Structure 1
Amino acid sequence: MNPQVELNLALILFVPWFSILGWLFWAYPRQPRNAARTAFDSATLVLAAIAAFWGMHWGMHNADPHAGAIWKQVLATSVAYGLFLAVMTAALIARWRWLRGRRAAA
């Protein structure tokens, strides 16, 4: 296998699922949709992708080499997915509180 593909396999395999989760985060709730919300959602998706990419590489480089070749992919996938979900969950909670506060103020 190509070394670059092997190094990035976890992210390649999760791109469809990350795309679905990202689209759901972006699309709901539908309102309010303003420049601040668009900037927040965009920054969140970029940060989640960067965190997943970093976690995938960290997992590949820190997996126990004696556990077998597949362990690198398992660890990289688990860390990348966990970090992506952690960023998305934190942003979802922050956005919910932000929007709720704006609704209460209006």
Structure 2
Amino acid sequence: MNPQVEFNLALILFLPWFGILAALYWIYPRQPRTTARRAYDAVALAIASALAAWGMHWSMLNADPHAGAIWKQVLASSISYGLFLLVMTIALIARFRLFKAPRPNASR
């Protein structure tokens, strides 16, 4: 296997799943969809992607060399996925607090 592909295999295999999660994060909830929210979402997705890539590379370089090649990939996948989900969870909670949808007046 090409060494560059092997080094990035964890990220390559998780890219479709990261794409699905990113699309769901971007699409829902549909309202309010302001320019500020679009910018916030774009920054959150960029940070999550960058941190996931960094975590994958860090874990590949720091994994125990005696554990075997497959365990480097397992560690890289776990770290990368965990960091992506951590950033997305924090961003989602912060987005709900920052961009609350206006509630209609309930007249009784």
Q: Distance in 2 between matches of 1:86 and 1:64?
A: 24
Partner of 1:10: 10
Higher relative contact order (CA 8 A, sep 6+): 2
Name structure 2 gaps, 5 residues minimum. 104-108
For structure 1, the 5+ residue unaligned runs are none
Per-residue CA shift, 1:5-59, capped at 9, x if unaligned? 0111011000110000000000000011111000000001111100000000011
> 2:47 matched to which residue of 1?
47
Query: Which structure dedicates a bigger proportion of its chain to helix?
Result: 1
How many pairs were matched up? 103
What's the RMSD between the two structures over aligned residues? 1.1
- Partner Cα distance (1:50, 1:63) in 2: 20
User: 1:67 is paired with a residue of what secondary structure?
Assistant: coil
Q: For the Cα contact (< 8 Å) 2:37–2:99, is it kept in 1?
A: no
Who is 1:103 aligned against? 102
Pairwise CA distance, 1:75: 0.5
CA distance in structure 2 between the aligned counterparts of 1:19 and 1:53, rounded to whole angstroms: 14
- Greater Rg by CA: 2
Query: So what's the TM-score if we normalise by structure 1?
Result: 0.93
Counterpart Cα distance in 2 of 1:96 and 1:9 = 34
| Residue 63 of structure 1, CA deviation | 0.6
> TM-score if structure 2 supplies the norm length?
0.92
Partner of 1:22: 22
